[in-house]
Amino acid sequence: MRLSSRRTVRRLAADAGLLAVAAAFVLPLAWVVLSALDPHAGLRVKAPDGLTLDHFDAILTDEITFTPLLNSLVLCGGATALTVVCAALAAYPLSRFSSRLNRPFLLTILFATSLPITAIMVPVYALFVQVHLIDTVHGTIFFFAASQLPFAIWLMKNFMDGVPKELEEAAWTDGASSLQSLARIVLPLMGPGVAVVTVFSFVMMWGNFFVPFMLLLSPDLMPASVSINDFFGNRGMVAYGQLAAFSIVYSTPVILLYVLIARRLGGGFALGGAVKG
């Protein structure tokens, strides 16, 4: 009985801890949803005094929402595509060919992921000024991709290791090149891995404030992650309702991206046993 009681107490303690963690995540989300509909939104999480869509009407303009969102989609979409392509090309030789340099290279790029972005922005800014990439969309895309590439290579390489090499060898026998086997065999079989890298890279770039704030100077090029700062006025004045409404609209592309590729995340390497027998 004592052992059973101890297990019950531990289970209840674990459940309470999980509920506390869940509440820490749910309360901010509840504030965003409730404040977006509350005509008198404030800092507290409370039931709305009434329901209104005035906050959405105030932000749904080209200057406040649509242009920054379009800028974010161009920046993050282009950088994500570049990151996924480069990560696949870099991870393929690391996964398929053995070398004494593989481990040092992987450790080096792992170290690169630990560098704080604020520590390298000053030399990056100076470099971008010298090569005339400052205040350019393509320059910001290049830096976004470069900053996410180390961890993307790690993820891609681990997923690529799960694809049987024998399937590629059969394609090589039929005359396929390494690039063809990568594009037609490896990447289709590691669809969940490509989806994970895509979502991770896009989300990390989508919420990045510091990089576009430093590298982009023109107001008409600013993404939504920077323009959201406009809702914080001077002397502590904040438009909480409009901020909450903008946050919901700002989160929509990330949610849609996850929904579109969620079925890929639940898959697996279905042909993993195709080489047996």
Asked whether residue 184 carries a pLDDT value surpassing 90, the answer given is no
Dihedral pair phi/psi, residue 232, rounded to 5°: -95, 105
Count of beta carbons in the 10 Å neighbourhood of residue 19: 11
Least Cα distance to 79 among 153, 138, 125, 159 occurs for 138
Higher pLDDT, 77 or 4: 77
Spell out the domain ranges in the chain: 5-51, 62-267
Residue 249 pLDDT: 92
- Write the class of the CATH domain 62-267: mainly alpha
Averaged pLDDT of the chain = 84
Contact 182, 94 (CB under 8 A): no
β partners of residue 238: 232
Q: 198-220: per-residue pLDDT in tens?
A: 998 999 999 899 899 999 989 89
pTM, 2 dp: 0.82
- What residues pair up with 232 in beta bridges, in sequence order? 238
- Give the pLDDT band (50/70/90) at residue 271: very low
- Phi/psi of residue 272, nearest 5 degrees: -60, -30
64-70, long-range: CB within 8 Å, 24+ apart, which pairs? Answer: 64/227, 64/230, 64/246, 65/224, 65/246, 65/249, 67/220, 68/222, 68/223, 68/224, 68/226, 68/227, 69/223, 69/224, 69/249, 69/250, 69/253
The predicted-structure confidence for 69-112, as pLDDT tens digits, reads as follows: 999 999 999 999 999 999 999 888 888 877 788 788 878 877 77
